[in-house]
Chain A
Amino acid sequence: MITFEQLQKTYPSRGTGQPVQALADIDLTIGRGEIYGIIGRSGAGKSTLLRTVNLLEKPTSGRVLVDGVDVTALSSRELRAARHSIGMIFQHFNLLSSRTVFDNVALPLELAGVAKAQIRATVEPLLDLVGLTDKRDRYPAELSGGQKQRVGIARALASKPKVLLSDEATSALDPETTTQILHLLADINKRLGLTIVLITHEIAVIKEICHKVAVMENGRIIEQGPVFDIFAHPKHETTKTFVDPVINRGIPDSLRARLSATPVPGSNMVLRITFTGERATSPVISAISRKLNLDLNIWHGQIDEIQGAPFGTLVVEAIGNPQSIEAAISLLNVNKLGVEVLGHAVPGNLRAAV
C-alpha cells in the first residue's frame, strides 16, 4: 500500500551550522490493511517520515508510492486529489475552534466540493461510528481530549481514505483514553480495511494495536518486522531499551549476583525459558517437573500478551540430577519453547540474597 524507496531528507544548514539529515536510506513497505507502527525518540525522524506520505514534508530524494502512485511526482493539483484518500490525525487534534463537531467532520467534504445533502449523509454515520452523535452541535472547547480525538478520527475518515496517518494521536491523552482511542483505531482498521500508519514514542501503543513495527534512530530505520518478533527478539540496543520495560527480559540484580558463569560445587543450573505464541498456555513446566522428577525453583517471570498471542519469560533454577536437566532442555526444545542457560546458581541462602 505504501512503499518508501531510498528516501532521503536533508534540511539545509541555517547560517554556519551543518545541514541536518532528517531521513536517511529509508526503504520500507507497508502492506494493505496493516497497522504499522513507527517508534523512535523525539528527533528520530519518525514525524518527518510520516509526513512524506501525504507530502507535507517533501523528501530530498527517493520515492514514496501510495497505492502504486509516486506522490513525490504529482503536480500540486494531483497532490491535493491524492490527499483526499489519505486521512491524518494529530497529537493536538487540530480541530477548528470556530466550527461545531459536525462542521469539523464536514470540512474535508466541503473542501472537496461535496453537496450539502451528501455531506450530511456521510458525516452522521461517522459521528455514530466514533460515538459522538449527541455532541454534533458542540464546539471543540466543550469536549474532552478523547472526544476531540474522536472528532479528529471522524474528520480523517470523512473523505473515505485508504490510508490513515496517525501523528502521536494518543500522546496528549491519559492512559485510559489512550486505550479507548487505540481500540477505536483497531476497530476501524478491521471494519474498513483501512491501512494505518502511526508514529509514537510509546511502546505500549505498538504493543496494543500494531501488526508490524519499525524502530527509528537518527533518521534511519534500525529494525523492522512483525511486532511479535521484534518484542521476542529485539536485536538493536535502542529496540531493547524500548521493549525491555514491557517485556521484562532481564533478571533482578539481587538474583544476578548469585549467578556464576561456570558450575561450582553444589550449584544448580539456571535457565531462561521463553514462551511464544500458543505454547505459553500449555502446562509444559509442571509436566516436566512431574515426569523428570525435577524441582524448578522459579526466580523471576512475566507472561504478557502481544497481538493476542501470549508471550513471556520465566527464569528457573533447576534442582535435580544432570541427566534430568538435559532431558528437560531437550523436552523444552521439542515443545518449541526458547530455552537458554543463564548460568549456575551459587549455593547460598536465596532469601538472604533477595
Chain B
Amino acid sequence: MLSPEIYALLFKALLDTLYMVAVSGLLGTALGLPLGVLLAVTGRGELLQNLAFNRVAGVLVNMTRSTPFIILVVAIIPFTRLIAGTSIGTAAAIVPLTVAAVPFIARIVEGAVREVDRGLIEAAQSMGATPFQIIRKVLLPEAMPAIALGLTLSVVSLIGYSAMVGAVGGGGLGDLGIRYGYQRFLPEVMLAVVIVLIVLVQIVQSTGDWIARRVNKRNLKS
C-alpha cells in the first residue's frame, strides 16, 4: 500500500492539476470564446464579414494548434517568463496551458456558432436586431449545447496537457507519475495517478454532458 507521504504527495499533485486546469480553462474560455465567435462571424458571407481579420486570426490559431504541446511549452518560455515572472512552477505552467487552450476553444466555439441555422439569423435581422444583439441573443444561446460539450472536451484535453508541464517543473499528477512512478520505479504510484486521472476525467465528462443536456431544448419529448 501507499505510505502517508505518498498520499500527501498525491493530494498535493491533484490540487496542482485542478488549479492549473481551472485557471487555464477559465482564461482559455474568456479569450477563446470571443475569438471563436469572431472567427465565425467574420467569415465569407457571414454577419460581420472581415476576411483580412478572419485570415490572420485563422493562421495564428492554426499555428498554435499544429505545434505539439510539449514543444509549445519550451518554445514560449520567454513569453511565459514575461507574463508569470518565472518560467518554472505551477503558476508558470498556466501560461502555455492557456496559450494552447485559447485556439482549441476558439475553433470549437467557431464550429458551434457556424452550426446555428442561418434562418435564425435572418429572422433576427428581420426583427431589426443589431449584429451584436444577434450574437448575444441568437448565436450564443443556440450554440450553447455544442459549446458546453466543446468546453468539456477542452477541459479533458487540458487535464492531459497538464501532465506534460512537469517538463518545466509545473507539478501536478502527471509530474508525480513521471518522477515517482517512472523514475523511482514505484508502479503503485503510477497506478494511483492513473486512477485519479481517470476518475477526474469521468467527473468532468459527466458534468459536461449533464450541463449540455440541460441547455439543449431541441430534443424535448412533447
Contact = CB atoms under 8 A, between A and B. Distances in A.
Interface string A209-250: 000000000000000000000000000000000000000000
A107 B127 contact: yes
Contact of B122 (A56, A108, A110, A112): A56
Contacts of A155: 127
A348 B138 CA distance: 71
A94 B127 contact: no
B127 A111 contact: yes
Nearest to B130: A80
B129 interface: yes
A179 to B, nearest CB: 22
A338 B105 CA distance: 72
Interface stretch (A84-92, A122-130, A312-320): A84-92
A282 B60 CA distance: 80
Interface string B188-222: 00000000000000000000000000010111111
Nearest to B122: A56
Nearest to B120: A94
B222 A142 contact: yes
A51 to B, nearest CB: 9
B125 interface: yes
B142 A108 contact: no
B128 A84 contact: yes
Given A96-B142, A98-B141, A142 B126 contact: no
A111 B122 contact: no
State the main secondary structure of chain B at its contact with A.
helix
Interface string A51-93: 0001010000000000000000000000111111011101010
A64 B222 CA distance: 43
Given A94-B119, A96-B120, A110-B137, A54 B126 contact: yes
Q: By CB atoms of chain B within 10 A, which of A87, A98, A141 has the most?
A: A98
B144 A98 contact: yes
B142 A94 contact: no
Interface in A104-135: 107-108, 110-112
Nearest to B125: A56
Given A98-B141, A111-B137, A141 B127 contact: no
Contacts of A94: 117, 119-120, 122-123
A96 B216 CA distance: 11
A54 B119 CA distance: 15
B125 A111 contact: no
A98 B222 contact: no
Nearest to A104: B123
A97 interface: yes
A108 B126 CA distance: 9
B51 to A, nearest CB: 16
A117 B193 CA distance: 56
Contacts of B124: 107, 111
A139 B219 CA distance: 10
Interface string B88-130: 0000000000000000000000000000010110111111111
B133 interface: yes
A211 B218 CA distance: 38
B144 to A, nearest CB: 7
A83 B128 contact: yes
Contacts of B137: 107, 110-111
Given A83-B128, A84-B128, A141-B222, A97 B217 contact: yes
A300 interface: no
Contacts of B126: 54, 56, 83, 86-88, 165
Nearest to A143: B222
Contacts of B122: 56, 90, 94
Contacts of B221: 142
A99 interface: yes
Interface in B133-153: 133, 137-138, 141-142, 144
Nearest to A82: B128
B123 A90 contact: yes
Q: By CB atoms of chain B within 10 A, which of A79, A107, A138, A140 has the most?
A: A107
A64 to B, nearest CB: 15
A14 to B, nearest CB: 12
A175 to B, nearest CB: 22
A111 B123 contact: no
A140 B133 CA distance: 21
Contacts of B128: 79-84, 108, 111-112, 159
Interface in A136-174: 138-143, 155, 159, 165
Contacts of A86: 126
B217 A80 contact: no
14 contacts: A56-B125, A80-B128, A83-B128, A92-B119, A94-B119, A96-B138, A97-B142, A97-B217, A110-B137, A111-B133, A141-B218, A141-B220, A142-B220, A142-B222
Interface of A: 54, 56, 79-84, 86-88, 90, 92, 94, 96-99, 107-108, 110-112, 138-143, 155, 159, 165
Closest 4 CB pairs of A and B: A83-B128, A94-B123, A80-B128, A142-B222
Given A81-B128, A88-B123, A111-B128, 10 more contacts: A82-B128, A84-B127, A87-B126, A94-B117, A94-B122, A98-B142, A99-B141, A111-B133, A111-B137, A141-B220
